[in-house]
Amino acid sequence: MTEQLDPRSEQITRRIRDSIERDDLPLSDDRSRMRYVMNNLVLHIHPSKVARPTLQFTYTWGLGGLAILLFTILVVSGVMLMFVYTPSPETAYNDMLALQTDVQFGQLVRNLHHWSGNLLVVVAFLHLLRVFFTGGFHPPREFNWVLGVLLLLLVVGANFTGYLLPWDQLAYWAVTVGSSLLTYIPLIGEGLSNLILGGPEVGAATLTNFYGLHIAIIPLAMMMLISFHIWRVRKDTLTIPRGADEPPADRVEKVTTIPHLVRIELVFALVMIALILLWASWVNAPLEAAANPDHSPNPAKAAWYFMGLQELLLHFHPFFAAIIIPGLGLTGLMMLPYLRFDQLTEGIWFRSSKGRRMALVGALTGLLVTPGLVILDEYFVDLPALLPSLPTLISNGWVPLAGLLLLLVIFYALTKRLFRATQDEARLSLFTLLVTAFIVLTIIGVAFRGEGMALMWPWEALA
The binding site for ligand HEM (CB under 6 A) comprises 60, 63-65, 67-68, 124, 127-128, 131, 134, 136-137, 141, 144-145, 148-149, 151-152, 155, 226, 229-230, 233, 238-239
Distance CA 187, CA 184 (A): 9
Q: How would DSSP label each residue in 181-248? A: GGGGSTTTHHHHHHHHHTSSSSSHHHHHHHHHIIIIIHHHHHHHHHHHHHHHHHHH-PPPP--TTPPP
Options 246, 328, 409, 420; binder of other proteins; rule CB under 8 A: 409
Which of ligand HEM, other proteins, none binds 209 (CB below 5-8 Å, type-dependent)?
none
Give me the least distance between CB of 380 and other proteins, in Å please. Answer: 10
Nearest Cα to 130, choosing from 238, 207, 47, 222? 238
Identify the residue among 140, 200, 248, 372 touching other proteins (CB under 8 A): 200
Among 398, 439, 443, 456, binds other proteins (CB under 8 A): 398
Identified binder of other proteins from the candidate list 266, 368, 376, 386, rule CB under 8 A: 386
Q: Which helix (H) or strand (E) holds 50?
A: strand 49-51
Is 196 in contact with 179 (CB distance < 8 Å)? yes
What values do phi and psi take at 48, rounded to 5? -75, -25
CB 84 within 8 A of CB 103: yes
Question: Whole-number minimum distance, CB 349 to ligand HEM, in Å?
Answer: 11
Establish if 451 lies at the interface with other proteins (CB under 8 A).
yes
The yes or no reply on residue 406 touching other proteins (CB under 8 A) is yes
Between 104 and 143, how does the x/- string for binding to other proteins read (CB under 8 A)? ----------------------------------------
Are 64 and 233 within 8 A, CB to CB?
Answer: yes
- Selected binder of other proteins within 378, 419, 423, 434 (CB under 8 A): 378
Under the binding rule (CB under 8 A), the answer on residue 389 touching other proteins is yes
Beta bridge partners of 332: none
Shortest CA distance to 207 belongs to which of 264, 155, 156, 168? 168
CA–CA separation, 179 vs 176, rounded Å?
5
Binds other proteins by CB under 8 A, chosen from 137, 160, 167, 316: 316
- Give, for 77, the enclosing helix (H) or strand (E): helix 63-82
Q: Give the residue with the Cβ less far from ligand HEM, 149 or 185.
A: 149
Q: What angle do CA 252, 258, 263 make, to 5 degrees?
A: 100
CB of 311 to ligand HEM, least distance (A): 22
| Residue numbers at the binding site for other proteins (CB under 8 A) | 173, 176-177, 180, 183, 190, 200-201, 294-300, 313-318, 377-378, 382-390, 392, 395-396, 398-399, 402-403, 405-406, 409, 451-454
